[in-house]
Structure 1
Amino acid sequence: MSLPPLAVLLFTPRAGEITGSARWSAMRMLRPFADRFDVRLVNRPAGLPVTIAMPELAAVYAERFAAAFAGPVPVLAISTGGAIALQLAADHPKLLDRLVLGGTAATLGPPGRRAQRAYIERALAGRRPSPALADIVTPSPLGRRLLRPLLWLSDGASGDRADAVAVLHAEDGFDLRARLGEITAPTLLIHGAEDVVYSLELARQTAEGIPGARLVVYEGRGHSATFTDRRFARDALAFLHEPG
């Protein structure tokens, strides 16, 4: 018997099919979901304009959903992928029947916006951009100093960063707070209390704005630690399998 599909939206620096180490890392995190769902990583195509806005980006994803799925599907969306999923749920509600969001909200918080703008500036200047994200990965000054060289190495020596710039530019201008009431898909938000990319207050505002949405908070967890927490898959799967 075939498993039902689960569309997954993540941020990856490269557009197109997610392959290699990026796919391995994503599927390792999603392993608990693969026992119950046909997990499908949905990603943007290459070559989008670097000035694309979130509604336009969501329209691109809507085309991908329509081509990949026969009807509405549950969606698991994390961080930047969650921002895209929120816009998708507001603009194209017939494509989703249930939505789980991890570490995201209806707009970026100031630290997240600063880090992503620094990433964009470095990328456009031809520099490896990922060290700019160290400030939102750990609050420890020592941890940031140790992390920056590792992030620098993770970028690789070459490559076009335009695809990453495009999606982060869209996220930079994203603010769906005035339209949250239009989202009809049952929604669960899972958030770390120490998240600085999307603050807990913004997550609360988002949950309060979506009719019937629920918010689960992991105390002591930052942005990335929310998704690797053992409770994340358990809580998400319980919601995805609720009747109705």
Structure 2
Amino acid sequence: MPAPGSVGCLHGDVACLEVGSGPPLVLLPGLSPDNDVPGGWERRMLLGTARSFADDFSVHVLTGKRGLRPGESMSGIAGHLADAIERDLGGPVFLLGLSTGGSMALQLAVDRPDLVQRLVLVAAAYRLGPRGRELQAELARMIRAGRPREGWARLMTATLPRPLRGPARPLSWLVAGSMVSADPADLLVTLDAEDVFDARAGLRRVTAPTLVIGGSADVLYPEEFFRDTAAGVQDGRVHVFRGWGHVRTGSSSATTHLALGFLLAGLPVVAPG
């Protein structure tokens, strides 16, 4: 059993946080300032999410391989994660991806269906919507221009419901300060890879039972992308929260409850006695 909140790296220099006990659940979070072991506010947030599943699973939060090659595709990024899972966790695993982590999780399930027992995609789909691509491309441009904090603040504000965007700008600017990395190279590779990521043609290769959870007001993804993703895999289902945006879908306890119930349904039934 991992020590509470233990940290380290898996095969191939993939940063990892671990908590809980039980069958392995790999959690791939959204965009991170870099692919280093998370610290501070980011670590607390990720561990808070992981602990929601830690009574039933050994949760491994993977933030990605450090030292990605420029121009690496989403398939290459997912391949590093698959190698780490196969070498260190044995596979197949339960897999949950949030936002950009959902893109990685879906690509992994397409390329290595043998490693995925059940798949949950939260606020993620087979590709970004047009507005999602615009917003993430803007973040990449601002990072390259030496204005990362402004880029993160704009992205955070844009993902909120429209009535909250104005009042939330000061808070977005404050939080964005914690998202600035001295070396954003891995983040930029990830942003470039997700910009051209499109797994629709490979969805039928996903054999694991899959749950897609989205919000109808998500600025990054049109609602039909969630539905098309679930319809495209071999054994998919979808739950769309009416009126919910990207942030609420990714952080709500209702989302956690849905995801946990779906994952638990994949555990073997233990006969009494």
TM-score (norm 2): 0.83
Q: Does 1:92 align with 2:115?
A: no
Q: 1:131 aligns with which of 122, 131, 153?
A: 153
Segment of structure 1 superposing worse, 101-110 or 54-63: 54-63
Q: Find the aligned partners of 1:230 and 1:76 in 2 and give their Cα distance.
A: 15
In the alignment, structure 1 residue 14 sits paired with structure 2 residue 34: yes
Deviation readout 1:9-65 (Å, 9 max, x if unpaired): 012222032333211111112322111111111121222123211111111111111
Higher relative CO (Cα under 8 Å, sequence separation at least 6) belongs to: 1
Matched, 1:67 2:87: yes
- Within a 5 Å distance, the mapping from 1:1-244 to structure 2 comes to 2-11=21-30, 12-128=32-148, 129-133=151-155, 134-140=157-163, 141-143=165-167, 145-156=169-180, 159-243=182-266
Q: Distance in 2 between matches of 1:241 and 1:95?
A: 17
User: Which protein is richer in strand relative to its size?
Assistant: 2
Deviation at 1:137, TM superposition (A): 3.1
Q: Deviations over 1:157-212 (max 9, x none)?
A: x6111111111111111001111111101100111111111221111111111122
State the distance in 1 between where 2:109 and 2:177 align.
36
Percent identical across equivalent pairs? Answer: 38
* Structure 2 gap ranges (5+): 2-20, 269-273
For 2:198 and 2:113, the matched residues in 1 are separated by: 18
- What displacement does 1:135 show? 1.7
- State the distance in 2 between where 1:241 and 1:155 align: 33
- 2 CA distance for matches of 1:235 and 1:55? 28
Instruction: State the distance in 1 between where 2:177 and 2:64 align.
Output: 24
Give me the whole-angstrom Cα distance separating, in 2, the residues matched to 1:66 and 1:58. 12
Structure-2 separation of matches of 1:124 and 1:198: 25
Distance in 2 between residues matched to 1:92 and 1:81, nearest whole Å: 16
Once the 2 structures are TM-superposed, how far is the Cα of residue 147 of structure 1 from its aligned partner?
4.6
Alpha-carbon distance in 1 for matches of 2:111, 2:84: 14
Gap regions ≥5 residues in structure 1: none
Output the CA distance in 2 between the equivalents of 1:26 and 1:40: 10
* Separation (CA, whole Å) in 1 of partners of 2:187 and 2:167: 25
| TM-score under structure 1 length normalisation | 0.92
Q: Separation in 2 of the partners of 1:185 and 1:72?
A: 10
Q: CA RMSD in A?
A: 1.8
Q: String of CA shifts for 1:94-148, please: whole Å, max 9, x gaps.
A: 1111101100000101111111000000111121231230222342352464455
Alpha-carbon separation, structure 2, partners of 1:46 and 1:131 = 24
CA distance in 1, matches of 2:167, 2:67: 35
Moved more, 143-152 or 93-102: 143-152
* Aligned-partner SS, 1:50: coil
Question: Following TM superposition, where does structure 1 have runs of at least 4 consecutive aligned residues deviating by more than 3 angstroms?
Answer: 143-148
CA distance in 1, matches of 2:124, 2:43: 21
- For residue 137 of structure 1, give the secondary structure of its aligned residue in structure 2: coil
Secondary structure in structure 2 of the residue aligned to 1:43: strand
Aligned counterparts of 2:47 and 2:186: Cα–Cα separation in 1:
21
Report the Cα offset of residue 151 of structure 1: 4.4
- Structure 1: which amino acid aligns with 2:135? A
Tell me which amino acid in the other structure corresponds to 1:214. Answer: R
